[in-house]
Every structure is written in C-alpha cells, then in structure tokens.
Chains A and B, each alone.
Chain A
Amino acid sequence: SQQGEEDPQALSIQEGENATMNCSYKTSINNLQWYRQNSGRGLVHLILIRSNEREKHSGRLRVTLDTSKKSSSLLITASRAADTASYFCATRGAGSYQLTFGKGTKLSVIP
C-alpha cells in the first residue's frame, strides 16, 4: 500500500510563480525524500529530510517536515518551464530497507 500521498494531483502555474506540493504519510518514518520525473525518464533524487529535521533547502527548493502532522511540503521558488515534471514524495519507514513512493504531483509551468 502507498505510504505517501501527494496533493494536489496536478498543478499548473505561470513561469516565475512559486509551486507548493504537499505529502502526507501514515506511519513513523526515518526520512522523507522528494524526487522529480520528467516525462519518459527515470526519477531524479532532489532532497532528503530526516525525521529530526524540520526544514531543508537546496537551491530553489525548500522542504519542510512536520512529523506531528505526518506531512511534508515541497516549495519550488521562481519556477521555470524546465521544472515541468512529476514530483514524488517517498518515505523510509523506521527500520525499513524500503522506500515507499506516493502517486505524484504533476506540475506544469507555463512560459
């Protein structure tokens, strides 16, 4: 069964705007990760946030984690057309070897 669930399923914004995607999960985690997938390609790892961290930045990406609410958000600032892709959250359960992926948010950035 899916651990993480992204929201919204699809998001369309203008270039230069910020994009926010959310992820909710159900059980205790060791870490939460975000991945990007361009159409027809493999997934690319973006950022990993551990369960004892609350916020992490990488370039134009900002990830927050609220373990009390079992949720995370991914913010992409000043979006570009090249950011058009599907974004997945993935959770690593406490003590688990497995990374469980959500179904993704499809982001379209309109030039």
Chain B
Amino acid sequence: DAGITQSPRHKVTETGTPVTLRCHQTENHRYMYWYRQDPGHGLRLIHYSYGVKDTDKGEVSDGYSVSRSKTEDFLLTLESATSSQTSVYFCAISPGDFNYGYTFGSGTRLTVV
C-alpha cells in the first residue's frame, strides 16, 4: 500500500523465540497502530503510538512490546513467541487523532510452530 510497508510479509518461527515485525511509513503521520487479525475475532488493537517514543497498550498487548524511535518506523516485538500469536499482523497509520481514516499496510502473516 502506498506510503506504508510491512516487513517481512511472511514468517515462520519457533515457539519461544523473539520476533520483530517492522512497519515503515513515508507519510510523516503522527499516529501508528499494530493490529492482529484472527478468524472469529476480527481486528484487535495490540499497541499504538501517538509520537516518537510515545506508545500505549491496546486490547491485546500481553506478550508484545513496541518501539518508535523515529517517526517513520514502528516495531512490534513478540518477546517469546507462542502458538497463540500465530496471526496476520497489520500496521496502520493516521495523520490525526480523531476524524481521520487509517491507511493499512499489506500485513505480515506470522506462523509460530
């Protein structure tokens, strides 16, 4: 998707290993979000950022941490991957706080074996 890229697109990892997913944007948007999408649950917010070094937890933050050292990059780390974290992860960006839509990346499909 224009202005936002996620890497890697696919990853298979073993239980117990740390994993980092990267979201990179070229839009200079202030707000960045990490969601996971699972069948039967829709999209659920993991963490979000409202500026460099400013982050907060979402609905399903346990087992995840984030960092944002630059406006353009928002990293999601699974500290010790578990099978329950097998999911599709989406990053989203937004220029403002309330009356703006989100632009989503293409997603990272993560499988924990």
Q: Which A residues form the contact surface with B (CB < 8 A)? A: 1-2, 30-31, 33, 35, 41-45, 48, 50, 88, 92, 97-104
Contacts and interface: CB of A to CB of B under 8 A. Distances in A.
Nearest to A100: B45
Nearest to B58: A98
Interface of B: 1, 31, 33, 35, 40-45, 48, 50, 56, 58-59, 90, 92, 97-107
Contacts of B99: 30-31, 48, 50
Contacts, number: 58
Given A31-B98, A88-B42, A101-B43, A42 B106 contact: yes
A45 B98 CA distance: 14
A50 B100 CA distance: 10
A35 to B, nearest CB: 8
6 nearest A-B residue pairs (beta carbon):
A45-B101, A42-B104, A103-B42, A101-B43, A43-B104, A42-B106
Given A42-B1, A88-B42, A104-B42, A99 B106 contact: no
A98 B59 CA distance: 10
Contact of A41 (B48, B50, B106): B106
A43 B90 contact: yes
23 contacts: A1-B59, A2-B42, A30-B98, A31-B98, A33-B102, A42-B90, A42-B104, A43-B43, A43-B102, A44-B104, A45-B103, A88-B42, A92-B98, A97-B31, A97-B48, A97-B97, A98-B45, A98-B48, A98-B58, A99-B45, A101-B35, A102-B42, A103-B41
